[in-house]
Amino acid sequence: MALRLHAAESNDAVTLPPFIVEEASKGPPWRYTEMPGFEILSRCRDRTTRELALAHYRLHRLLELLLPERLQLAFAAPKAIIFYDEALQPAASQEVIASMMRRATKEQAPVDLGALDLGRFGLRGAPSASSRRISFLPNLRLWDRDEMAVFAIVRDGGYDADRLVLTGDYVSYLLLNRTPALPWWFVSGVLRLYELTDYESKALTIHPITWISEEETDAVKHEPKTATAPLPLAEFFSSGPPAATPENEARRKLWIAQGTLFLRWALDGRTPAQREAFFEFVVHATTGVTPAAFQRCFGVDFAAADVQLAAYLPTAVRKTVTLRPAHPLVPPPIELRDASEVDIARIKGDWERLEVGFVRAHTPELTDKYLEQARRTLHRAYDRDGRDPRLLAALGLCECDAGDDAAAREFLEAAARLGPLRPRAGYELARLRLAAAAAKPEGAGDRLSVDQVKSVFTPLFAVREAAPPLPEVYELIAKVWACSAVPPTRGHLAVLDEGVRLFPRHSSLVYQTAALFADNGFPAEGAEYVRLGVLFTADAAERERFTSLKARLDAATVPAK
């Protein structure tokens, strides 16, 4: 539900604040439904809500042919979608449009409004000429560390549910934020293939690829002996994408093109069981590709696969591939009911909380206005004795984002007493408990007592295995052990091994882990994490921290003369 203007003769963009939804007194009531992985709050006609919900379900099931659910960013809580009938919101856009035009007059060339686009929603229709000049996006997808929510203004009758597709931006979000991180050759291959993919009613159609460039593609078609050959797969898997430098440009383009080619080859003509085996291969490839794993998946070694891949290249640049589900798509029942006061406050209020972060980043002068709106919506149910733990958690996170830790802790403690917390809520409650304990330590040497450590760890370990995993959870575990009056054992620190496996490039976590091992009598493990930190850290200051820790470890292990 954001507006984005592009100048008519410029690629510059002006990002404008989302609308504040003004509740219309007339019109359909808020309605609520659930489907696998999503919950929907809608103020559209039931027919419209069902059509959009079923389209959403169908598109996600088809996406799994190329990107299975287990290879996507996952959330323990259902993703929220809010549909709002455009006809109910005639006045809300005036403030934003006026602001938009003032900014455009001051900062940009003349502008005019373009077509409705569902791109930021994750859905889009067929492109239009006007949308290439200026995009008017009354839809917005926002996310927190552990949730995603969408608000879409719907023009009844102004869309074709059969022609909607998931946008590349949305697919990229699901790919790049998955933990553990997927191998780059797979990420690159999926994103490039997705650009060439059409949604059919019951299948995905992937169009021919481009091999490196249009000139190289023509060479494959007409003079294959002059075309650049694919890299040997053993080299391709071990090297990763070359750095984006002028001297690496040709090799980088080849590596990216090969990711697209390899993925198409791995999917084309395979049975559903063989495709499943390939995706399982991708899961294990997060830690590297071995010749044995490759042969188990494809039934051939690298050398034989090199021959097959080169032979497949002319097919890949000429022909389409159609991927079909192993079983017919059976849509779930969409059972709509009137939304409760708690449903409305929880979903809409949490969406408005996410808007605050968006507004703070783009139009900070309006932050207080949006924060007031989020609080008002969330409190509407709370002040009438709504005590759903998810509502309480949203209230707590709203106050965390506003910087009111005292109010945040009150709501989060209440939520924890009533039900399980989502990952970020559990982390924030632990953070607040740690701050209180650190202000009045009860252990020896002004350190945390066993009871204080346990109090902080309780919410952290309750959300540790929930999706998505958060690096800050593991960082806080490390911080607690660093403050504990009772030193951790090797078994206690095993949870940090897990954290580093999930987030090997999160240098702060790796450093804290290395320091804890070093300080608690495990220098070998500490040295290994220092090596990992130096390997993955590009920041000079961070590298210096790891270098200093390495020097301390080296000095501690010098044998006495």
Per-residue model confidence (pLDDT) at position 504: 94
Pick 133 or 364 by higher pLDDT: 364
Q: List the CATH code of the domain at 340-419.
A: 1.25.40
- Helices (DSSP H) in 383-522: which residue ranges? 389-402, 405-418, 423-439, 450-463, 471-483, 490-502, 507-519
* 338 bridge partner residues: 31
Residue ranges of domains in the chain: 3-182, 208-319, 340-419
Q: What is the pTM of this model?
A: 0.88
Cβ–Cβ under 8 Å, residues 534 and 500:
no
pLDDT of residue 131: 32
Show the beta-strand stretches assigned E in 44-195: 79-85, 115-116, 123-124, 135-136, 139-143, 148-154, 165-166
What does each C-alpha distance from 530 to 60, 101, 296, 481, 506 come to in angstroms? 41, 53, 34, 19, 12
**Is pLDDT of 135 > 70?**
no
Per-residue pLDDT at 6: 31
Q: How many percent of the chain have pLDDT more than 70?
A: 86
Q: Tens of pLDDT along 185-239? A: 999 999 999 999 999 989 999 999 999 999 999 999 999 999 999 999 999 999 8
Question: What φ, ψ does residue 27 adopt, rounded to 5°?
Answer: 115, 180
pLDDT digits (tens, 9 = 90+) for 418-453: 999 999 999 999 999 999 999 999 999 999 999 999
Instruction: State both tokens at 172.
Output: 């990229």
Judge whether 172 and 192 are in contact, CB under 8 Å: no
The mean per-residue pLDDT over the stretch 330-338 comes to: 96
Residue of 399 and 27 predicted with greater confidence: 399
